[in-house]
Structure 1
Amino acid sequence: MNRPPPVDTAHHPHLSGVFAPQRDEVDVRGLRVDGVLPDDLHGTYLRNGPNPRFDPIGTYVYPLDGDAMVHRIDLGDDGLRYTNRFVRTPCVVAEERAGRALWAGITDPYLPPAEEVGPDLAGTMRELPDINVIRHAGSLFALAESAPPYTLGSDLETLARDTFDGALPVGITAHPKVDPATGEMVVFCYVFEAPYLTWAVIAADGTVTREPTPVDGADRPLMIHDMALTSRYAVLVLAPLVFDPSALFSGGSPLTWHPDSGTRIALIPRDGGPVRWHTTDTFWMWHTANAFDRDDGAVVLDYVEWTYPGGFAEVDEPNRSTLQRAVITDAGVTRTPSADGAMEFPRIDDRAVTGRHRTVATIGRSGTADLVAGDADALRWFDVDNGAETTWRAPELSVGEPCFLPSSSGGAGYWGTFATDRADLTSRFVILPADDPGAGPVAQIHVPLRVPAGLHGTWIPRT
């Protein structure tokens, strides 16, 4: 198969403007601050996201394509520091040697031959640890959609592809959940062949205490991006977006939407008991906010619900998003909207994972601009107990996923995210007070280069 032509980056909505790839890597101290930096905020914010090392060839599908670049803001005792680094997988290293892209996008059937990449990489798919970044058991991981993560060093240098001493050879997905009470990290992974779906547990010390365990009842290969965790269950939402990798080589899409199938929810007992399955009306979900167990045995799940997966389904109706609450009992699933309007990336204070939470933060849109998919110019906060909503509108900025930043003194804490000025394409890290986020940032830390829009980040408190 011939090498495909380059993607027209200048006219691709996710390769230009606020999404344009960042090719420079820097490590800069002494950053400028507008406003007053909170004196009870100490730690490090990291964010991963798709960022092609070279201009892509063939196809480019945001956010699944693109090499990984991790960005770091360190609020240390010795001042402010910004660092960014590519995650250098073998594919990235091979392309850096060649000085150009060698792999096409994931929806393109082209795979590079041995004469271009050598026998070990010939015919392989590009590794894409570009979705999320987390720390667990002292290690920093750049996470892919469903593959082994890459560990990063103290300067964000790439260390190794990590299979957890061979216990998780196929890998994990990009949204594992850590139980604050036990320190356990619960993970899942989907594959194209039976058993299709597995889950596993990594202890607080990094050892795998439950090796990949098939989820009984998973009967076909589905894309499942996120999960939730309660003290009793791992919660997986199986929407009917079905993988067919062979379709790539016949000119079709590797993902097909089957809306007549309904959406299934699996409650997987963390003690290893039988999986509890529930089926409800068809919907799509990218991200959960949190889940918890109720005293009466019900499981409550908060998440952002979509009518269908945009970009992977041709449906002649608007694709609405709502912040939704599902209550799952033996009698079935009851879904109730908490709020609607454009939103994604729901986050809570991570210290409340598995327990009751009150506030869910999301990105949103002010309604003053026509934005491409994945972009946002507002942040929204929802009180799921009383229905109150707060919004910070910033139409001049492209804002990213909100992340909760705890106060070191026990105060209300803060929310933080990267934001980019649409006019001059400069970026900053904005810090908003959790007790009044609609008032806007108390501080903006200016970074020395533009941070491309999307995806996920984490806060690591300084101990």
Structure 2
Amino acid sequence: MSARTQPGFDPTRVPHLLGSFAPVTEEVDAIDLEVTGDIPSSLDGLYVRNGPNPRFTPIGSYLYPIDGDGMLHGVWLSEGRARYRNRFVRTPGLLAEERVGHALWGGLESFVLPGPDVVGPELANEFKDLPDINVVSHAGRLMALAESACPFRMDDELETVGREDFGGALPVGITAHPKIDPVTGEMVVFCYALEAPYLTWSIIDPTGVVIRKATPVEGVDEPMMIHDMALTKRYIVLVLSPVFIDLEGAMSGGSFLAWRPERGTRVALIPRDGGRVRWASDEAFWLWHTVNAYDDGPEGEGDVVLEYVQWSRLTVGSASAASSADPVRCNLVRARIDPVAGRMARTDIDDARVELPRIDDRRIGRRHRFLALAARVEGPDLLPGEFNALRWYDTETNTASVWPAGDLSVGEPVFAPEPGRPSDERGHWLTFATDRTDGTSWFLVIPAEDPASGPVARVRIPVRVPLGLHGSWLPT
């Protein structure tokens, strides 16, 4: 496989390597962080977030949010106090680059792959591990997750333990968005691949044992990119937007990912008991992230309701909706899917520009009331993937509330429930934020009862936290 550099690639001019996205290289430990306001005493645990953070200046290409080494940022909260630690996810590829002091692998679109004389036979001519998208905890394993590959296991202090293949049962890996059923404790995962079987799903029980090995999804006969999934009591929900992995096209100068809207979007409802896959289809749209899904009807029957952020087409990297002849549209959508008839009906919930949706994780697969998202409000020009507000929806009252963040660029809001309170309206929303004027970063604590009032506590992080992707709240 020959190497190539994207035409005009200059890392000093890549938007997602600059400003609030710019990577940091220093690993920091800090205790007794400065707090404005009061950290609620009910918050006792770890908030940890992952995101792309190249250790060395990228070569060949850089495609946000897929490229970049993983870096975990953790804030430990207890008795109203906070400490911070950040650590790289040290994959074999990153360790090899640290030994020589510069990047050896190019971005995914460049195919710059080092040979055996540089990295030895085990890593030679292979893609670099990039567990830089999400971080989840299941069965006592804290895992940094890649787009579609084996996760890397981390210890309680965010140090890298090693590649996690679940005792050899899932050697190809999983994607970045597994779903943990809060009732059964099972973690349901899927994986897409460049070779057949192109799409598989699996189940890992509450103890970490794979109880359903990689099971092919029939009806998928070429490699596709699928970023997220949803879960109900009955089904695994996979949205197959027409984004195809085109290695041949990429090698001849085209894009690694091909958007083919004429193919439309299909939805696979995969029975969790292994039954026949039910399909529905509609006009083409792209989905980065689901909100949640649930069964709506008598036990074992009825439609599937799926909420998600819908994009009119795929955009990655620094592609700008504003400068395109075909502006990209995104909005929050609710789809009702009939598993028997194979019909799908979509309804717009809100047309605000939003992304990174989250609910109370205790409601995954069941009807939820509240959801939160990062949002954009009018003001300064922002890069794709940058947000300057947080937005909440109440699905019972069909109302929305907004907290404009001013000069802060905010990340994904994660819910920390109040201990002992089953309701998803009692607790706090947590996120990192970076000031665009001076580069300072903060950890924000926002009350769920009145989120539009803004943070009750702002924790000063001693280093800048680059804008990143997904995180988890892990109560003690």
TM-score range, shorter chain: over 0.9
Secondary structure in structure 2 of the residue aligned to 1:96: helix
Residue number in structure 1 paired with 2:395:
384
Contact kept? 2:11, 2:59, Cα under 8 Å: no
1:436 paired residue among 437, 442, 450: 450
Q: Match for 1:320: what amino acid?
A: R
In terms of mean alpha carbon deviation, does 311-320 or 258-267 score higher? 311-320
In terms of mean alpha carbon deviation, does 408-417 or 316-325 score higher? 408-417
CA distance in 2, matches of 1:79, 1:17: 29
Contact kept? 2:43, 2:78, Cα under 8 Å: no
In terms of mean alpha carbon deviation, does 155-164 or 407-416 score higher? 407-416
2:256 paired residue among 254, 257, 260: 254
Residue number in structure 1 paired with 2:24:
22
CA distance in 2, matches of 1:197, 1:139: 24
Residue number in structure 1 paired with 2:287:
285
Q: Match for 1:360: what amino acid?
A: L
CA distance in 1, matches of 2:234, 2:3: 52
Contact kept? 2:39, 2:81, Cα under 8 Å: no
CA distance in 1, matches of 2:258, 2:18: 28
Alignment of 1:51-450 (within 5 A): 51-77=53-79, 79-296=81-298, 297-311=302-316, 316-329=325-338, 330-331=340-341, 332-410=343-421, 412-450=426-464
CA distance in 1, matches of 2:175, 2:96: 25
Contact kept? 1:46, 1:71, Cα under 8 Å: yes
Contact kept? 1:55, 1:100, Cα under 8 Å: yes
CA distances 1:349-386 after superposition (whole Å, capped 9, x unpaired)? 00100111011111111210110100000001112232
Q: Match for 2:313: what amino acid?
A: Y
Q: Match for 1:13: what amino acid?
A: P
Q: Which runs of 4+ in 1 moved over 4 A?
A: 1-7, 312-315
Secondary structure in structure 2 of the residue aligned to 1:49: coil
Secondary structure in structure 1 of the residue aligned to 2:94: helix
CA distance in 2, matches of 1:3, 1:369: 36
CA distances 1:138-188 after superposition (whole Å, capped 9, x unpaired)? 010000000000000122111010111110010000000000000000000
Question: In the superposition, relative to structure 1, how do residues 259 and 316 fare at CA in structure 2: closer, same or farther (>3 Å)?
Answer: farther
Q: Match for 2:354: what amino acid?
A: M
CA distance in 2, matches of 1:8, 1:280: 39
In terms of mean alpha carbon deviation, does 371-380 or 386-395 score higher? 386-395
Identity of aligned residues (%): 54
The alpha carbon displacement at 1:409 in A equals 4.9
The alpha carbon displacement at 1:267 in A equals 0.4
2:473 paired residue among 453, 459, 462: 459
CA distance in 1, matches of 2:37, 2:376: 24
Q: Which runs of 5+ in 1 are unaligned?
A: none
TM-score, length of structure 1 as denominator length: 0.97
The alpha carbon displacement at 1:26 in A equals 1.1
CA distances 1:166-217 after superposition (whole Å, capped 9, x unpaired)? 1001000000000000000000000112221000000000000000000111
Q: Match for 1:317: what amino acid?
A: D
CA distance in 1, matches of 2:3, 2:201: 39
Secondary structure in structure 2 of the residue aligned to 1:95: helix
Contact kept? 1:366, 1:395, Cα under 8 Å: no
Contact kept? 2:4, 2:110, Cα under 8 Å: no
Contact kept? 1:7, 1:56, Cα under 8 Å: no
Question: In the superposition, relative to structure 1, how do residues 379 and 419 fare at CA in structure 2: closer, same or farther (>3 Å)?
Answer: same
TM-score, length of structure 2 as denominator length: 0.94
Q: Match for 2:153: what amino acid?
A: T
CA distances 1:364-420 after superposition (whole Å, capped 9, x unpaired)? 112101101000000011122322010110120010001001112537101010001
Contact kept? 1:230, 1:292, Cα under 8 Å: yes
CA distance in 2, matches of 1:131, 1:435: 29
Report how many aligned residue pairs link the two structures: 462
CA distance in 2, matches of 1:363, 1:340: 13
CA distances 1:22-45 after superposition (whole Å, capped 9, x unpaired)? 100011111010011112121110
CA distances 1:286-333 after superposition (whole Å, capped 9, x unpaired)? 000100001251100000000001138997422111110000113311
In terms of mean alpha carbon deviation, does 308-317 or 202-211 score higher? 308-317
Contact kept? 1:406, 1:461, Cα under 8 Å: no
CA distance in 1, matches of 2:274, 2:4: 48
The alpha carbon displacement at 1:3 in A equals 7.9
Q: Match for 2:333: what amino acid?
A: Q
The alpha carbon displacement at 1:112 in A equals 1.2
CA distance in 2, matches of 1:136, 1:362: 24
Q: Match for 1:94: what amino acid?
A: A
Contact kept? 1:366, 1:393, Cα under 8 Å: yes
Contact kept? 2:39, 2:80, Cα under 8 Å: no
